[in-house]
Amino acid sequence: MAWKSRTRNLQVFDTELSADSVEWCPVSSSHDVLACGTYQLQKGAEEEDATPKRTGRLYLFEFRQEGSMIPPLTELQRMDTAAILDLKWCHVPVSGRAVLGMASATGELQLYTLSDSQEGVRSLHSMCSLEVGAERLALSLDWSTGRMDSSDVRVVCSDSAGCVSVLSLAEGALTALSQWKAHDFEAWISAFSYWDTQLVYSGGDDCKLKGWDLRVGPSCPTFTSKRHSMGVCSIHSNPHREHILATGSYDEQVLLWDGRNMQQPLSESPVGGGVWRLKWHPTHQHLLLAASMHNDFHILHCQQVLEGTGGVCPVVASYILHNSLAYGADWSRLSLEEPVPCSPVAAEPKESLTESGGHLRIQYESPTASFDTSLEDDAGRYIPEGIAAPSISGVRGPGPALNSNEDALSLSCLLASCSFYDHMLHVWRWDWTPDEAQQQSEQC
């Protein structure tokens, strides 16, 4: 089944400090709001053994579609903070406002509310904070509200001492419910099961993935998996499919699991770089976004695996325009209804992917610093526009297609990503055209 996939950069923003986290607001009234966090390590200038200072900055942006010649991001606010290791919005409003959680290098979990000023400009304001431990870094956080349930708002946080903490949010204040030693080294990631928020998962630099049942206490994990061969960096519960869990590691593998059987993963998909963040699409249950550190950003299509046919989840799109460690990535819930403009045909590809035998075309356009990469696939190869895809004798292999219950014939998504040492935030779109819709697209 033929399909066409294109990623197009909309804007690049220099965050000045190393960027490691980007998050679109999931609350319906603020889908156009984007937060970005940075982390900068500054060693002592006078003494070699001076305690390093970690600083950060929190950015708030608004996304507006006002035409192809106008950059869509508007900076609303910047706030100097402690170094930021992770950001996550609560999926539901709290007391009528969107709430952003921040894991900081001071070992604190800090919460901010999003509000409008008298002039109508949105900004973040400190709500509350709680220290999860002295002399440690708060490394990750996750909210219990992934299925848009506001009945019990809790946060799970992991830290550099290998501990996991569970906190509740009520009446504008955080309260620690429990904390335990979960891993021998840094606990890089922690996450709720969105279907049963009494279940918590954690991953650490000890190469272990663990599960915890808060009803029986943290004295013993419900399972310990050593299936990843290096540190476990990313975990995300699928908000659309019960029991489905995605995990990523420095070992460059994305594993999908059925939470009822954690002895063996459903699939193992190599992405060519340490997997720092994984994000399921907010509405399409089979799409998984991976930030692959040394190997850019990828969108995996997991339908066949989740339907029980096994195999590897194919990469249906890659965003390769960052020049440093791929750390932060997130999907927006904003609707992009208008199709991406067709670009002029390139006479010759500017870069080639020799391993696949295909070509990658990168186009630069001013003034919005937009780039365009196209991926047309019958055999997993990059092909520039204007060059026919190679024919394959016999019956075409089944290319991945979106579930008919989810989509008609095409999909357009807005995403954000950030990279570390080059301190860059990118906002980009992905357009997917399977089947008959491909022919219509190629005529424009």
pLDDT along the chain (444 residues), means of 10: 82 97 97 97 64 92 85 96 98 96 98 87 97 96 95 96 98 96 98 98 98 93 98 98 98 98 97 97 97 98 92 95 97 76 32 31 33 42 32 30 51 97 97 62 45
Which pLDDT belongs to residue 14? 98
Give residue 274's pLDDT.
97
Give the number of other CB atoms < 10 A from CB of residue 433: 22
User: Which pairs with CB-CB distance under 8 Å and at least 24 residues apart come from 259-268?
Assistant: 259/193, 259/199, 259/211, 262/209, 262/211, 262/223, 262/225, 263/225, 264/227, 265/227, 266/305, 266/306, 266/310, 267/302, 267/305, 267/310, 267/311, 267/312, 267/313, 268/312
Task: Judge contact between 414 and 33, C-beta under 8 A.
Answer: no
Q: Does 414 fall in a domain?
A: no
In a domain? residue 419: no
Output DSSP code: residue 395: S
> Which amino acid is located at 203 in the chain?
G
- The answer to whether residues 192 and 168 touch, using CB atoms and an 8 Å cutoff, is no
Interior CA angle at 410 toward 409 and 416, to 5°? 160
CATH code for position 39: 2.130.10.10
How would you classify residue 363: left for phi > 0, otherwise alpha for psi between -120 and 50, otherwise beta? beta
Structurally, how many domains does the chain consist of? 1
- Residue 7 belongs to some domain of the structure: no
| Residues 235 and 191 sit within 8 Å (Cβ to Cβ) | yes
Residues 6+ apart with CB under 8 A from 94: 113, 150, 153, 169
Rounded distance between C-alpha atoms, residue 331 and residue 37, angstroms: 16
What separation in angstroms does the CA of 303 have from each of 81, 116, 257, 359, 404? 41, 40, 13, 27, 12
- Provide the pLDDT for residue 441: 42
Q: Which two tokens stand for residue 165?
A: 């903490």
- 375 contacts 6 by C-beta, under 8 angstroms: yes
pLDDT at 393: 25
Q: How far apart are CA 224 and CA 262, in angstroms?
A: 8
Q: Confirm whether 436 is domain-assigned.
A: no
CB 104 within 8 A of CB 111: no
Q: What is the pLDDT, as a whole number, of residue 335?
A: 86
Within 25-162, strands assigned E span: 33-38, 40-42, 53-63, 73-82, 84-89, 99-104, 108-116, 122-131, 138-143, 154-159
Range of the domain at 228: 17-44+52-347
The Cα 249–Cα 230 span in angstroms is 6
338 domain residue, yes or no: yes
399 located within any domain: no
Q: Is 420 within the bounds of a domain?
A: no
Residue 381 CB neighbour total at 10 angstroms: 16
Q: What per-residue confidence (pLDDT) applies to 134? A: 92
Whether 281 is covered by a domain: the verdict is yes
Four-residue CA torsion sign, 299, 282, 21, 108: negative
At 434 the three-state DSSP class reads: strand
